[in-house]
Amino acid sequence: MIDFKVEIEQIGPLLYDLLNGVNLRQPEEKTEDVLRSILEQVSHQASIDFRPYKSSTILRRIGRRMTVTHNRSMRDYLEYLKTYPVEVGELVKAFLINVTQFFRDPEAFSYLKKDILPDLITKARERDHTLRFWTAGCATGEEPYSLALLIAEMLGEEFSAWNIKIFATDLDEAAITFELFWEEGIPIVRTAHEVYEHGITRTTSRIRTSLPNTNEEIKENYFVYTLVPSHDANGRISGVIIYAVDETEQRMKEIVEEREKLRLIFDHSDMAAFALYDAQTAELIIASSRYLDMVTSTHDMDRSELNGKKWHDMTINSLTGEADRLWQTALEARESVHLPEVHSGTSADKQESVWDYSLIPIYASEKEDNIRFIVVSAIDITKQVQARQELIQLNRIKDDFLSLASHELRTPLTSIMGHSELLQRNLKRKESVETPRSDFTQEMHLLDMIVHQSRRLNHLIEEMMDITRIRSEQLELKHMENVNLVKLVRRVLEQYSDSNREITLVTQEEEIIGNCDEGRLEQVLNNLISNAIKYSEADKPIEVRVERTKHEVTIAVRDEGRGISEEQQRHIFERFYRVHANANTGIEGLGLGLYIAHEIVIRHGGRMWLESRTGQGSTFYFSLPSATAAS
């Protein structure tokens, strides 16, 4: 095919014109329909709209490409574009050539050097030593090259430590939009270099790209790019054409499916509460039912009010003051923030809960250095914390018990040893002389003290053995029989006739039969009466009441002592527990009596409780099934 026929002396000028795009043969078809079809084809494949360009410029550059590709008409060239997509890239490059005059303006260049660049460099130096520039430019590279030299001059020796990128495009909106794509698609640049260097075709995975929409708002889009090398008329690689397939809609569907799967995981987790937040806005995206319950309970809100709420609006009470700091720490440190024990707020009718709290950054799959979400994980560890606290309490009780037991056991042993040694010396002294039997009064008193302390020691040991029996489920009621409970109470009270205390029995009947282990029930009565004596003043009366109802017999021991606070009443029947008060210091006991008495009553099928107010005394009750009910 022959495009030009000229004399030999005209070949040089013609080649010059061909290379510079002047005096080219204009396309003979200038119909608007064909031009519109060509621009639509370009827009469809390159996603750039060149319709705002001057028609004369467009036609001239189309004519140049028609010459290079040996097409005689615009209609032929349109078909050529459809047949050879790589030509679209060549035509786009031809359209984007537009020489600018900015850097040839001395005043503008001076203003850039003295005012604009120093401020940008100062801010970038404090931030991350990174600069990104866009400049109006042309195919000669004159403008970005001048800017690069200026920046290198200003940075001097520190230039090598900086990360600087300069982009130059035409001044029209389409070219600027195209440049926004490249700023977002920096990883594609590396792929484009590879395609250009090796002449291969590459297709990327899905890449997230931010582009302006019709309302000039920046929105996230998802594209799969295919990069194809383009060739000149001599078959040499002259550039890279990028085809973009918009998969935003497909990605949105996948996101919905992923969130639905995530919701299923969240909602079927029994131990943990989960929530997914947007890392940039801190807004709640999705949460498990348990997390929503925790938030609504803590902040007294309805679930419908949670839409649009942010992280710091929905933290549990103990984190409110530091919510923003925790969030920023997770973003800046780019690693999980773990709070091992966070206590939730409590209301009057709800028990406090404890959570193992974590904020976990999640990176975007399209950009590995970009934190896209924050997952909040809250694992309920209330039971574990309670178990730990109980273990700490048990260890403390154990230590207190060992200290108390050693003291309580040492006291009677010391007394027994002291009285025994004194009795031994007296007897040896009186052996040397004949002494009438009536002179052994002191020795008899010493023997009484030994017997008393021995019984006390035996009582302490019995209590500890009872504890062992109770803990091993071996405490048995061996002698269950019908017993006159009024008579039993009278007999126990007679044991305290020498205590110089006013103890009164109140009953409407002289015989109330109950089925019980008499020895064990006597142990319960002794504990309650001895406690009433120990914890009340010597001149205050003690009352024991025996009453019968239709199904049970109730025995109450009332004193007018110091009383017991509501807090201590909750623990009064626990083993090793002793009422704490300054006035009670020095009162003997291991704190086992009420625990054992309570267990004995429970094993009789009965119940034990108390009524008390601080400063107004205490009344301990226990009830047993009546003999009729028991039978």
Using DSSP's 3-state secondary structure scheme, residue 607 falls into strand
- Residue in the structure block whose two tokens are 């809609």: 249
Dihedral angle of Cα 187, 188, 191, 192, to the nearest 10 degrees: -140
Q: Give 104-136 pLDDT, tens digit per residue.
A: 456 666 777 887 888 888 888 888 888 877 665
pLDDT in tens, 466-518: 666 666 666 777 788 899 999 999 998 988 887 788 999 999 999 999 889 88
Which pLDDT does position 28 carry in this prediction?
45
Q: Which two tokens stand for residue 336?
A: 């999980």
| Block mean pLDDT (10 aa), the chain, length 631 | 58 58 48 82 77 71 81 86 86 62 57 81 85 63 70 83 74 49 59 82 80 69 81 73 79 77 68 80 81 77 75 68 80 84 65 82 69 84 84 74 62 71 70 60 70 66 66 72 92 85 91 88 90 89 91 93 89 79 56 85 92 91 78 49
Domain ranges of the chain: 8-95, 251-380, 386-471, 480-630
> Nearest 5 degrees, angle CA 398-CA 399-CA 402?
85
Cβ atoms 373, 285 nearer than 8 A: yes
Residues whose CB falls within 8 Å of the CB of residue 514, separated by 6 or more in sequence, listed in order:
482, 483, 485, 553, 624, 625, 626, 627, 630
Determine the Cα–Cα distance for residues 168 and 165; give it in Å rounded to an integer. Answer: 10
Please give the structure tokens belonging to residue 75: 């209609």
Predicted local distance difference test score (pLDDT) of residue 407: 61
CA distance 468 to 333: 55
Give the pLDDT of residue 557: 95
Long-range contacts for 100-108 (Cβ within 8 Å, ≥24 apart)? 100/136, 100/137, 100/138, 100/143, 100/171, 102/135, 102/136, 102/143, 103/142, 103/143, 103/146, 103/147
Order of strands across the sheet that contains 284-287: 284-287, 272-278, 371-380, 354-363, 337-343
Report the b/e string of 246-282 with b at 16+ CB within 10 A.
Answer: ebbeebeeeeeeeeeebbeebeebeebbbbbbebeeb
d(C-alpha 626, C-alpha 261), whole Å: 62
CA gap 379, 269 in Å, rounded:
10
Do 89 and 239 form a contact (C-beta atoms < 8 A)?
A: yes
- CATH superfamily label, 251-380: PAS domain (3.30.450.20)
Residue 440: the pLDDT is 64
Write down the CATH number for the domain with range 480-630: 3.30.565.10
CATH number of 386-471: 1.10.287.130
Question: What are the Cα distances from residue 90, in Å, to 28, 85, 141, 431?
Answer: 21, 10, 18, 135
The predicted pLDDT at position 1 comes to 44
